[in-house]
Each structure stands twice: as structure tokens, then as C-alpha cells.
A and B are shown apart, each in its own frame.
Chain A
Amino acid sequence: MTTGARRTPGQALGRVGFYLGVALFTVFAALPFYVMLITAFKRNNELFDPTTNPFWFSQPPTLEHLQLLFGDTLFLRWLLNSFMVGGLVVVITLLLAVPAAYSLARLAGSWGEALGIGIFLTYLVPPTLLFLPFAKVVAALGLQNTLWALVVVYPTFTVPFCTWLLMGFFKGIPRDIEEQAMVDGYNRFNAFRRAVLPLAVPGILTVVVFAFTLSTSEFVYALTFVQSSAQKTVSIGVPTELVRGDVFRWGPLLAGALLASIPVAVLYTLVIDQFVAGLTAVAGE
């Protein structure tokens, strides 16, 4: 920046092109969310007038859509449902994935890596291949139309991926740690609990955030298993309940979509680098 005076016209052009490129990509990504933000505070008579500027206000903003959303819909209930499902899925995921990952990373020997990849590959089986039989299984368990169906089914995609991620974390912890603990008289399991787990806390936190955001974002299973309004998560409640037939309650709809999106997006942004590191690790070290 300090060498501005010595810049050639070509470099100046390059800089303009650079910022233009960044601006274009940012607008493309954020535009729908920006429009949601504006629309959430727009008066109905302005909102439903195709001649007014949809990207800004021509009348003073209003809180009527937010009042409708919180007072007249089950939005808070859906948020709570999402939170409960997410929390329970996190607990199940940790109980299953943490021991499995440690076992694959340290105890399983040569077939640990292969089995790890095998478990990871189940993450690639799309929900749309499994939702038909799941609908029957869920019905047979008597869980249809309840949040519990989601609590049981969501770990099918969180456990494979989180096991894979945690396996990488455990491999990064030096073996000396538990060997020292075992010399000090702990058995292997207690060495894992007392010496290794505390060091794996960053990895475990990543997995917590990851399992939670994946659960709150899930759509296909929730759409298939849950029909009653009060049992919906926010991810299906907003798109299915605020649209009645052809009648869209656009104001509350867009306000609700934005409000629920932002916290999940903030959380996800914290872990996306680890998420991608996990995806690319499949290609081998």
C-alpha cells in the first residue's frame, strides 16, 4: 500500500480488477440474505408493490413481520425443537464417534485406516437413497411425526464424518502422552480418558459445532418424517408452515429465514476449515 506511487498502470488495473472480482462474488453470495434483511422490515403495501425499489426502503421500516413471526407462528417452538434435536444429536455423536475414532487411530493397527475410510464413505450415501426405507423403520419404531425420529436418524451422517475428523485429531496427539500415563500406572482406557481426551478438546469442540450445525440444517429427513407443525425444526418449519398452498407470508417468511440462518452460519464458519481438511484428507496424507 505504501508503494502506491510506484505502481504501473497495469498494476493499478490489476488492483481494480481484483476488488471488482471480490465485490462481484460477495454480492452474488450475499444478495439473497441482503434482500431478506430489507424485506423483513418492509411494510406490506411497499413490499407488494412491484414498482418500488426492493433493495431499499421508500417508507419507514416496520417491526410488524417480526411481531407476526414471534406472536402468530410457532417460530420460537421450531427454534427450540432445532436446538433440542441438535443437542441430543451432539451427545449421541460424541458417545459413538470419540471412542471409535480413538480406537481406529491408535488401537486398530493397519486396518484402522481402511475401516476409517469405509466409515467415512457412508457419509457419501445421500439421504435421498435411504429416506424411503427409513420412513418404514421410523414408523415401525413408533417414532413417526416426532422429534425422536430425527434424533435417531441424524447421527447416521454425523457419526461417520465426525469419526473421520476425530481420527485425524487423535493421530496428531503424540503417542508418548498415553505411554507415559501407562508407565505411571494407568491402564490404556484410563490413559485415554485422563491424558488424551483433555488434549483432544479442540477437536471435540469442532465436532460438537459440526454435528450441531449439520442437524439444524438438515431438510430431507425432517420433511419426510415430521408433519405436525409443533414438532418441526426451524429448517422445515419456516419453508413449509409459512407457505399455505399458494399463499406466501413473505414478510415473516423471509424474516424467519434470516434470523435462523445467521447463528448457524456463524457457528459453521468457525469450523469450515476443519471440515474441508477432513474432506481433503480422504485423498491420503
Chain B
Amino acid sequence: MSRPALSTRSGRGQPDAQRDDTLLAIGMLAPAVLFIVLLVGLPFGLAIYYSLHDVTTGGTTPRWVGLGNFASLLGDNTFQTSLRNSFVFTFSTLIAVLVLATIQAELLMREFRGKWLVRFLILLPWTAPVALGLIGWLWMFDSVFSPIDWLLRQVGLLGSPGAPLGALPNLYWLGDKTLAMVSVVLVNVWRLLPLATVIVLAGLNSIPRDVIEQSRIDRAGYLRRLFDITLPMLSPILLIAILFTFVFTFGDMISIFILTRGGPANTTQVLPSMAFFTGILGGNLGRGAAVALFMLPALAGMSALLLRLVRRSEVTT
């Protein structure tokens, strides 16, 4: 690293200062990097190791099984269901979140009285601890006392002979195979909508005012403006919203764990929840790790693809 000092003013000090800076850079960075390598990198490696072995929490020595765990999963009914559910769950959430977040962000661009309160309430599903917000939904979907069902009964949609949603007093949101998936998607949309909205809002705010003003002067209609100006200029930020909604949905199991535990009959089981039930509660670490690792291609692919797309569109605009 020693090179002749270009500046004559501090001829002797420069290379020393350079070297000191490099040492300082390493010294200040090392603790964080070591921590991440030890506590993210190492467990990650261990997850791969487990997935290739027959390991249980019991403490017997791991036995090498190669790709055995993965192969046996592919033929497993619960796994196939979980894999399919993971994608249904994630893509339904994604589409609903994107559409609703764009609308909600458009609304929040305007100023109105009491906006701070509306903003606080709209952000609540994301800012409150998830597990606790979900308890509210557990009550909303209760098989007997569900407030939603009460409302439906009041307006005559449910619970009387000939009512459109059936004569039974309740819909059994979390007990019915179709409704259970609808419920967990609904709740997941509820949870991620605030995050996507704030991301889209940041994007809307970065569109130059004069572009919008000009299009108004040109008498472009709302839809024309939306599709010709807003959405194209917004696309990099929408990709960011897609990335984080995807990652926070596909790799997560909280909504499903609290609401349905994967039931009824595995109809809402997803990869992360199956990994938990197999690996932690079932004690089969190898198989559980293999289930979790099936998430990796989708997560890594999605992150890589979107980061590339985003960078490219940054260059062209």
C-alpha cells in the first residue's frame, strides 16, 4: 500500500494516515461482520448440514443421508400441499397489497384534517407487534362470537333460513377449508398493507411536481395520468414494495401459526410453518431444515431479480 505521497505538504504523514485509516476501518467493521458471520452465516451453514443428515433433537449422532430428506419430502403429501399453499398465500397477498397500497397511497397524498390520526391508525397493523394484532383477528374470526358474523347476521346475510351465506349462525372462518385460506390471506394483507403504502408514498413524493402539473395542464384524465405517468415513474419503487411484501410473506409463519396452525387438515400449511412443526415440535431437525431450505431458491431468486431490475430501471430513467 505504500506509495509516494503526492502532496508535498505532509510528505511523511500521508501514507501513515492512509494505513491508520485502513486499520481503523477494519477495526470498526470487524465486530459487526464477525457477529453476522458467526450468528447468521454459521447457522445457515448448519441448516444445510442438517438438511443432508438424519438429525433429531434427541442428541443421537447425525447420520449422512445425502439428498434423502429432500427426496422424501418431494413425495410427501403434506409437503406438496405446503409448497402449493406457500405460493397461493404469497401471490394472493402480493396482488391485493399492491393494488390496495397504490390506492391508499394516492389517498394519503392529499392533505386533510386529522390526517395524523388516520395515518397512525392505518399504520397500526404494521407498527403494533404482529402476534398481538393477530389476536384481535382471532377474536374477529371466532367460531361462535365472531363480530364479523354478528354483523352479517344483522344485515340478514347469514343465520336465517334462505340467507345468502347460509342458515347456520356462523361462517366458521378458520374451520372451513376455503375460508381459512381466505382469512389468513386477508389478515396478511391487513398486516403488510401499511408497509407497502408507505413505500409507494415515498415513490409518489419523489415524482417531480411539475410532471404532474404539466399533465394536468395538458388535460390528461386521471386514468391516462395513472397509466402513462404515475405507474411508469413509480415502477422502481413498486418493485421494492413487491420485494419486501414477498420476503415478509413467503418466509413468515406468524399469521398462520396464530390463526390456524396450518389447519384445517393442512389447508393453510405453508413451508415455514411446516418447518416449525416438523423440526421444533416434531424434533426432526434434518427434515425440518430441508423444508425450510426449499424456500431459499424463491427468496434468493426474487431478491436477485428485483435488485437487478431496480438498478437497471434506475439507469434508464
Contact = CB atoms under 8 A, between A and B. Distances in A.
Interface string B19-34: 0111011111101110
Given A21-B103, A107-B22, A132-B275, A280 B47 contact: no
Interface string B133-154: 1111111100011010110000
Contact of B31 (A100, A187, A257): A100
Contacts of A32: 125, 133, 136-137, 139-140, 190
Interface string A164-196: 000000000000000000000001110000000
B29 A260 contact: no
B104 A25 contact: yes
B40 A130 contact: yes
A189 to B, nearest CB: 6
A133 B198 contact: no
Interface of B: 17, 20-22, 24-29, 31-33, 35-36, 39-40, 42-44, 46-47, 50, 57, 100, 103-104, 107, 110, 112, 118-140, 144-145, 147, 149-150, 169, 190, 193-195, 198-199, 202-203, 236-237, 239-240, 244, 247, 250-254, 257-258, 271-272, 275-276, 279-280, 285, 288-289, 292-293, 295-296, 299, 303, 307, 310-311, 314
Contacts, number: 285
B44 A125 contact: yes
A99 B31 contact: yes
Contacts of A18: 107, 110
Interface in A220-244: 220, 223-224, 234-236, 238-239
Nearest to A259: B132
A155 B299 CA distance: 21
Interface string A11-29: 0000000110110011011
A217 B252 CA distance: 14
Nearest to B169: A50
Contacts of A130: 40, 43-44, 47
B133 A33 contact: yes
Contacts of B139: 32, 35-36, 39, 250, 254
A152 interface: yes
A83 interface: no
Contact of A121 (B253, B258, B303): B303
Nearest to B313: A283
A33 B132 CA distance: 10
Q: Is the interface of A mostly helix, strand, loop or mixed?
A: helix
Contacts of A107: 21-22, 24-25, 28
A247 B169 CA distance: 21
Sorted nearest first, the 5 A-B pairs with minimum C-beta distance are A126-B251, A32-B136, A107-B25, A100-B32, A133-B46
A100 B28 contact: yes
B25 A262 contact: no
Nearest to A22: B107
A110 to B, nearest CB: 12
Contact of B288 (A132, A155, A213): A132
B199 A137 contact: no
Contacts of A245: none
A124 B303 contact: yes
Nearest to B199: A276
A218 B2 CA distance: 48
A252 to B, nearest CB: 11
A197 interface: no
Contacts of A152: 39
Contact of B198 (A25, A257, A276): A276
A239 B47 contact: no
B244 A132 contact: no
Contact of B311 (A104, A235, A260, A283): A283
Given A54-B145, A152-B39, A188 B21 contact: yes
B259 to A, nearest CB: 11
B278 to A, nearest CB: 9
Given A250-B139, A284-B314, A102 B28 contact: yes
A279 B25 CA distance: 25
B314 to A, nearest CB: 5
B171 to A, nearest CB: 13
A129 B247 CA distance: 12
A276 B257 CA distance: 27
A269 B120 contact: yes
Given A108-B25, A265-B127, A284-B310, A126 B31 contact: no
Contacts of A265: 120, 123-124, 127-128
A216 interface: yes
19 contacts: A18-B107, A32-B139, A100-B33, A107-B28, A119-B33, A124-B247, A129-B251, A129-B296, A131-B280, A133-B47, A239-B132, A250-B139, A254-B136, A264-B127, A265-B124, A268-B123, A268-B127, A284-B311, A284-B314
Given A32-B140, A132-B288, A137 B28 contact: no
B20 A220 contact: no
A272 to B, nearest CB: 6
* Most interface-central of B24, B26, B239, B275 (chain A CB within 10 A): B24
